[in-house]
Structure formats: C-alpha cells, structure tokens
Amino acid sequence: MKDGHEIVYVKAERNSVCHEPQVRISDVMSVECQNPAICAGVKNKMLYSFAKNDRKRKRQIEVFSILKVIELIHGDYPDVEVVSYGEQDFVVEYVTIPIAPKWIEVCKVCLLCVIIFLGSAFTIMAFNNDVSVTQVFERFYGQFMGTKKPRVTEIEFFYCIGLAVGILVFFNHVGKKKITPDPTPIQVEMRKYEKDTDTAFIENAGRKGHEHDVG
C-alpha cells in the first residue's frame, strides 16, 4: 500500500502531564497506523519544547489544537490522511518534580492531618448545634424511656459509631483500600474540577491568541 493511501489515527486526551521538556506526539496522544514506519515516525515527532531551566515556574502549560498536530504530521508525510478521534483542543502540562527533604513531606502530612481533623470536628459540632441534636436526643429518650435523659446514654455512643461508619461508606475508603470499585466522591469532584480547569485554559488561550494552532 502506498503512502498516499495510508491513514493515521490519533486520539488526544483533554489534559496530559509531561515531566520531560521535550514533548513528542506519543507523549500526549495515542497513534495508530497500518504502516509501522509511518506510525513510529509520527509517534517520535516533536510537538513542543518547554523551557527546561525556568526555576521560577515549576508548572508550565500550553494549549494545542489538533489541527497543529495534523500540520506537523503533514510536514513529514504530506500524503497521509489524519483522522482524529480525541479532543479537538487539549492541554499539555510540563511539571518539574522538586526533590524535597523527607522531613518536609512528613511535616506537610502532619499539618494537613491536623487541619482536616480540626476542620471536620468543628463542622460536625457546628452542625449538631445548628440542628439541636442534644434536644432531639433528650426528647427521643424521654418518649421511649419515659424518664429524663441522663447526660450520656447509648444514643450518643451509637450516634458516634454511625457517624464514623457513614463517613467511611460515603467516601468509599478505609485507609488505602476502597469498599467498592466505584469512584469515590472526592475522585468525581476532582475530575469535574480538572475538566472545568482545562476548559478555562483552552478558552482563555483561544481568546488571547496563545493557543498553538495552524495559521
């Protein structure tokens, strides 16, 4: 089969993260072609080169149009047909991995745990106070037992257990293990946030003329 009848299929993800400044097409998208030589050539084609020694920016972001990728492919293989099954506009992030001392990472984890614990405790106490959980327990105990509720009863004990179990079930996590294979609520919200962020990057780059496009 001649090159003029070859078809190159490409599929780009909305967001790709690279840790090397030299970004090739295969780093940010999948490539398929019946001709192995053309497929290898397209995969190794240089897409962009980030500034490697920019210490002030640990994260560099560029927005590309799929038309720019097609233009690069046609530069080497002018007779092939390029078919895209992925995103029409996509984001490429170059992230440098700083080497930080282990004690700094431990301090960050400890500080984060303290903040989450205190924030969660304050939220639960504020909620209990807002809905008057203490009065609800007193009325509930009085209706069923017929006497005045003591200061601490089984109700508070089982309420604490149910609260902890409910949190674990809702977030679908016990330590590093998931209760079910379904995505956790945090994972779902993170994916939504990433999608909205990528959309904002693409739209801003298009409006400001910073997108890598043809022409």
pLDDT of 96? 81
pLDDT of 201? 87
Report the distance separating Cα 86 and Cα 88, nearest Å.
Answer: 7
Cα 136 to chain center, whole Å? 41
Which residues are CB-contacts of 25 (< 8 A; sequence separation ≥ 6)? 10, 31, 42, 43, 44, 45, 46, 47, 69, 72, 73
| Run of H or E including 95 | strand 89-95
pLDDT of 53? 63
pLDDT of 56? 59
Report the distance separating Cα 59 and Cα 96, nearest Å.
Answer: 7
Q: For residue 120, how many C-alpha atoms fall within 13 Å in the half-sphere facing its CB?
A: 9
- In this prediction the pTM is 0.70
pLDDT of 99? 67
Neighbours of 100 (CB within 10 A): 9
pLDDT of 3? 44
Which residues are CB-contacts of 101 (< 8 A; sequence separation ≥ 6)? none
pLDDT digits (tens), the chain, 215 positions: 444 578 999 999 899 988 888 999 999 999 999 999 999 999 999 999 988 765 556 788 899 999 999 999 999 998 899 999 988 999 999 988 766 788 888 898 899 889 988 998 898 889 888 888 888 888 888 888 888 888 888 888 888 898 888 888 888 877 777 888 888 888 889 899 999 998 998 889 888 888 888 87
CA torsion 29-35-40-42 (nearest 10°) is -50
